[in-house]
Amino acid sequence: MPEAVVANASDANTVLVLGAGGFLGGFIVAALRRDGFRVLRGVRDARGAADAIGCDLQQWTEPAQWLPALAGVDAVVNVAGILRERHGQRFDAIHQRVPLALARACAECGVRRFVQISALGDPADGEFVASKHRGDAALLALPLDVLVLRPSVVYSASGAYGGTALLRAIAASPLCLPLPAGGTQRFAPLAAEDLAELVVAAMQGAQCGLYDVVGPEALTLRDYLARWRRWLGFPEARVLALPAALVSAVVACGDAFGRGPLTGVIWRMLQRGNVGATDAHARLLRDFGSAPRALDAVLATRPAQLQDRWQARLHPLAPLLRAMVVLLFALSAWAGFATEAAAIERLAAGSPLAAFEPVALARAGAALDGVLALALLVAPGPRVVLAMLALVAVYTLAFGIALPALWLDPLGGLAKNLVLLPALAVLAVLSERR
């Protein structure tokens, strides 16, 4: 592993950040701007954004493709990465070939500083880590000032996403703490803000080589979640030890369907332990002049607010609500096709709906319900939920006016829409990914 060399402050003023829209990227961009750097965000669609440059993180595998984006750039920070391969995204491209092409373009046009945010782990844990590490090795072999930072579990007291949101949700469990194998897995967590500070220090120094980025203490998952639970203001809860085999089976299903923040790679990383080299924290302090703070010290800087408790407890309800909405629309579609034509015509008789081919309307509505149910199941997102909300609003308005007796149905068939409409609005908000 190359030893770090700290030299005079860099002249880097303009920094191109790839992956700036992600959880870590946002903190890095904010820290760089705070310290006076001009930041350009490398994004797929830069239209209408003065601080953005259009970049294709899947297809730009040749240095020449990157040269226009590097005009006027003094340093590059690559935070881009994927936990799963989907939607045409591939580990080999995003973690190896694209960063290598970008770094070669940097060497060609005189951009001397390249900071790579990688991942702490063992390549045997899975292709996410293995591809990251192969990319790191290729970058470090270039005639370029390359700094590779491999963080352990990263969190922030000011927000959560993906796996960090899942951990907060577990910490906020109302009855008990459901922990895999009792929560004995060890890692060395660090704040996203502290990782960003290391990137800023790298822009002002000349650290090169490979660094494990870890907090000052190795915690078990059980201890980590207990501290978050205290911070959230919830009472202490007893631990429910989930069998590791059960967790592995759930994770395998998530990987098979491409869903869920806990992937097989992350689960294997936790089981193996994710604490870094024994001198990792001291080395950071020596070479950067600062190092990640302890979890308790970070949490003490910001008291938990009501929205933190809401986020923690709403997080696991989002997939449950989505599943129930899918089921509801699927049942509505089935009912629309299964109900006999004579029954539909009797219901519409004497109402304005009778003049509009009620059977055809019922079948068309059923088909639309089924399409939306399938869309929410396959590609969940706020647009699908908003379409469902609009459809339910139309149903409620049309039937409420044309068949007012339905408001007094003993089972509340139409009245229940008054609850369903705000529930769909909540689901649309919870479906937002960024």
Q: What is the pLDDT of residue 350?
A: 80
Residue 10 pLDDT > 50: no
- 305 and 402 in a single domain? The answer is no
The encoded tokens of residue 384 equal 């699908």
Cα(271)–Cα(181) distance, integer angstroms = 9
Domain's final residue, options 315, 338, 365 = 315
Q: Which of 316, 307, 303 is nearest to 231 (CA)?
A: 303
- 360 and 311 in a single domain? The answer is no
- 34 and 53 in a single domain? The answer is yes
305-353 confidence digits (pLDDT tens): 999 999 999 988 998 999 999 999 999 999 999 999 998 888 888 888 8
Please count the other Cβ atoms lying within 10 Å of the Cβ belonging to residue 63: 18
* pLDDT tier, 1 (very low <50, low <70, confident <90, very high otherwise): very low
Lowest mean pLDDT among 7-11, 346-350, 360-364: 7-11
Domain's final residue, options 298, 315, 332 = 315
Q: Is residue 3 part of a domain?
A: no
Q: What is the pLDDT of residue 5?
A: 37
Tally of domains within the chain: 2
Q: What is the pLDDT of residue 3?
A: 43
- 274 and 365 in a single domain? The answer is no
11-38 confidence digits (pLDDT tens): 459 999 999 888 999 999 999 999 999 9
HSE, side-chain direction, 13 A CA sphere, residue 301? 11
Cα(312)–Cα(191) distance, integer angstroms = 18
Residues 6+ apart with CB under 8 A from 130: 123, 124
Task: Indicate the average pLDDT of the chain.
Answer: 89
Q: What is the DSSP string of 287-327?
A: HHS--PPPHHHHHTTS---HHHHHHHHHTTHHHHHHHHHHH
Residue 105 pLDDT > 90: yes
* pLDDT tier, 53 (very low <50, low <70, confident <90, very high otherwise): confident
| Dihedral pair phi/psi, residue 54, rounded to 5° | -70, 120
246-297 confidence digits (pLDDT tens): 888 888 887 777 776 678 888 888 888 899 999 999 999 999 999 999 999 9
Radius of gyration over alpha carbons of the chain, in Å?
Answer: 26
Domain's final residue, options 280, 315, 350 = 315
> What percentage of the chain has pLDDT greater than the value 90?
65
Q: Is residue 371 part of a domain?
A: yes
